[in-house]
Structure 1
Amino acid sequence: MSRKDLLLALVIVLAWGVNFVVIKVGLNGVPPMLLGALRFMVAAFPAIFFVKRPQLPWRWMLAYGMTISFAQFAFLFSAMYVGMPAGLASLVLQAQAFFTLGFATLFLHERLQSQNALGLAIAAAGLMVIGMHGNHAMSAVGFMLTLCAAVSWALGNIIVKKVGKVDLVGLVVWASLIPPLPFLALSYALEGPQRIAMALSRIGTSSVLAIVYLAFVATLLGYSLWSRLLSRYPAGQVAPFSLLVPIVGLASASAFLGEQLSVAQATGAALVMAGLAVNVFGGPLLQRLVSGR
């Protein structure tokens, strides 16, 4: 991976890591399904008037929008609304890296390299250490909902790989037209018209800023860059970068929400970083060892 793309990957990590704190702020004033609808409405409009629709059948945009956009965030917002801490949500969601590799092997017939397997094993150990020391704040319902969000994200990653070379900014923008309707339908059914009206009439500055961040930074910027990397590199090389997101997520949750980062969690974060380093740089090192150079 080039230095420029490595830098882009780190920008994604920062944007998505802070994203979980922003979601918590948004959920303080807006219920989860309505928050999802507003996020993608703002992401789609007015951007669709300035970004050309990608030359891609609508079935693929529908598949992308329903997995990586709607399903992922319907599950994630619900998980955090029922009490899943922001830092731990950022951690558990990164199980998508493992699901992505599994789906890529199953559907795309990509081969898992030895350094990928070793790196993910080290990172998985780090995730387990962090998960086992969550101060009992991670409920079973929140955990399962977040895992469902991870599966949805992984399926979206595979769809990006299947569609091949397209205008990725256009894909993210135009696919943002898809989630608002199912989000609004769920909001009407689960949250009710009275609650929707109350949330919209009393929406505060913090909620507005949260929606803007979720739409422009986390969605348009983050997923455009993420899709670009997935289109240029094997899924096994790109997906593990998301394992750095919980490190930023845990740190920002500690700084802004008062969620404590224990010594065990810091140790787990270090293991995650080590696993990522093995995944990214392990191939060239193994080749040098084999060649004796």
Structure 2
Amino acid sequence: METTATNKPSLLLVIIAFATIYVVWGSTYFFIQMAIGGFPPMLMGALRFLTAGVLLLTWCLIKGDKVWVKKDIRSSAISGLLMLFTATGGVIWAEQSLPSAIVAIMVSANPIWFVALDKANWKVNLGNKSTVIGLIIGFAGVILLFAEAIIKSMNGSMTSTQVFALLLVMVDPIAWSAGALFSKKSSGTAPARVSSAWQMIIAGLAFIIAALFHHEFSSFHVSQVPAKAWMALGYLVFFGSIGAFSAYIWLLKVRSAVQVSTHSYVNPVIAILLGVLFAHENISILQLLGLLIILFSVLMVNVTKYSFKKRIKLPSPKKSNSSLPAYRIGVAAEIKSVVA
């Protein structure tokens, strides 16, 4: 995806990119669980991100992009390890013992951490009452979900492995938000596709090390992988990584991190629908309540940032050289702010 000659992104491309991360990423939780039904978790992550990264880097070379800039590679390494290896790796690991819908619900706290970790905007964000209230409500929702897990573990309906998996996915949004903010602030002049390619390649290499550490290669046999696991891996490579992740990195360059994080509103809903309809997962009333609380808190945190109306400073009639009346200048500026 590229911007126009005036360095302003096409509105159609922005809409397509948002639609991609909204729907496709919501479905990846379901397909991750399907893929690890045939692949060891860390090896699956390695295959997914290395394949996607190499394919995308090849495309970058064909397009004539500068792909060997050390500064860009170093920045991509940090953000890729945080977002893809730590955060997504935690999701992959957790889905061995938890339903995909539950993992998606826990990860829905992403936008809360975007605000909490965006130190440069603390004064603005934390000076807003709705933001502070939203943060408090959001953490209450996460605690509600985790409290249910503790109760279930105490009465024997949830294992210690599942409780550990829940702890893991509580940390994942922190790593993802930190990586995304770093990617946005350290992005250079390279196209988003170059950053995405290196992030995936470096994360894929880290997954190989993790797979070796867990002795996954010795127990893996290609012939034993079912067809649906291969199809799920293919979906994750082309749609979840090359398509959605590239769209996400591009959006971080052209839109605010808070706006881009709105995918967390839709992803859990898609994940729950797929999990219930196709994987026959059960979602409790308390878990749905936790989801609603988290989503409401995210809305509270970001409500002031989603207003399309912006304050417009109209030029003084005495100083303005424009032949247009002041009210027409204001209307034109308002339309421009909405489209932008």
Task: Please give the range of the TM-score, normalised by the shorter of the 2 chains.
Answer: 0.7 to 0.9
Deviation at 1:24, TM superposition (A): 0.7
Query: What displacement does 1:110 show?
Result: 7.0
Corresponding residue for residue 20 of structure 1: 29
Contact 1:96 1:154 in 2 (8 A): yes
- Distance in 2 (alpha carbons) for counterparts of 1:2 and 1:57: 25
> Please, what TM-score do these two structures have when normalized by structure 1?
0.81
The Cα of 1:286 is off from its aligned counterpart by 9.7
- Report the Cα distance in structure 2 between the residues aligned to 1:53 and 1:116, rounded to whole angstroms: 40
Report the AA paired with residue 112 of structure 1. Answer: N
Larger Rg: 2
**Cα contact 2:108–2:294 (8 A) shared by 1:** no
Cα separation, partners in 2 of 1:250 and 1:188, compared to 1, 3 Å: same
Partner residue of 2:208 out of 184, 198, 210: 184
The alpha carbon displacement at 1:190 in A equals 0.8
Give 1:8's aligned residue.
17
In structure 2, the residue matched to 1:291 is none
> Which residue does the alignment assign to 1:112?
125
Provide the residue aligned with 1:211 in structure 2: 233
Please report how far the alpha carbon of residue 124 of structure 1 lies from its aligned counterpart in structure 2 after TM superposition.
5.4
Larger deviation: 49-58 or 262-271? Answer: 262-271
- Mapped to 1, the partners of 2:53 and 2:184 lie a distance apart of 22
Partners in 2 of 1:133 and 1:271 — Cα distance? 14
Distance 2:210 2:240 in 1: 22
Q: Distance in 1 between matches of 2:171 and 2:295?
A: 24
Name the structure 1 match of 2:194: 170
Of 201, 206, 217 in structure 2, the residue corresponding to residue 193 of structure 1 is 217
Q: Which residue of 2 aligns with 1:39?
A: 48
Q: Equivalent residue of 1:45, what SS?
A: helix
Structure 1 residues 59 and 3: alpha-carbon distance in aligned structure 2, compared to 1, 3 A threshold: closer
1:251 aligns with 2:273: yes
Give 1:1-293 correspondences, 5 Å limit. Answer: 4=12, 5=14, 8-51=17-60, 52-54=65-67, 56-81=71-96, 83-105=97-119, 111-112=124-125, 114=128, 115-118=130-133, 136=152, 139-164=162-187, 166-196=190-220, 198=221, 200-272=222-294, 274-275=296-297, 282=304, 284=307
Amino acid paired to 2:205? L
Q: Read off the aligned partner of 2:93 and give its amino acid letter.
A: S
Q: Closer, same or farther in 2 for the Cα pair 1:2/1:243, shift >3 Å? A: farther
**Where do 4+ consecutive residues of structure 1 move more than 6 Å?**
285-288
Whether contact under 8 Å (2:31, 2:235) holds in the other structure is yes
- Quick one: distance in 2 between partners of 1:110 and 1:42? 42
Which letter does structure 2 place at the counterpart of 1:150? P
More helix by share: 1
**8 A Cα contact 1:15 1:218, kept in partner:** yes
Comparing 23-32 with 115-124, which one deviates more in the overlay? 115-124
The number of equivalent residue pairs is: 284
Tell me the CA shift for residue 239 of structure 1.
2.2
TM-superposed deviation, 1:189: 2.1
Which sections of structure 2, spanning at least 5 residues, go unmatched?
1-8, 153-157, 312-340
Q: CA deviation at 1:280?
A: 5.6
Identical amino acids, percent of aligned pairs? 19
User: Which piece of structure 1 moves more, 114-123 or 227-236?
Assistant: 114-123
Q: 1:142 to 1:65 in 2, by over 3 A?
A: same
